Amino acid sequence: MSLATLIDTMFSAPIAHRDAVRYVASALDDFAITPELGPVWDLRYLYDDQPDSFRIVDLEIATPAGTLSSNDLWLRLPV
């Protein structure tokens, strides 16, 4: 599944939005991520367009080679 699908599913769950973000971020350690990110990467949060909004609406991952959107990242359970 894509990271975008996981995010959409968690944001639709009957839990607080901030909890969904925290669960998604912590779940990334449990999945094998494609493409391979390498040893150095940073999780970035994308916020709502509203002025002064701290509501996270998406995540992306920055690597030395460039930034990958949630639609570009695929997650699978390790074998």
Residue 79 or residue 9, greater confidence: 9
Over residues 18-61, the pLDDT tens digits come to 899 999 999 888 999 999 888 889 999 999 888 887 889 999 99
Instruction: Check residue 54 and give its pLDDT.
Output: 86
Omega prior to 35 cis, within 30 of 0: yes
Claim: this prediction has a pTM higher than 0.85: no
State the total domains in the chain. 1
Over residues 2-23, the pLDDT tens digits come to 999 999 999 999 999 889 999 9
pLDDT above 90 for 68: yes
The structure tokens listed for 60 are 């992306």
Domain containing residue 63: 3-76
Q: 69 in helix, strand or coil?
A: strand
Strand partners, 33: 75
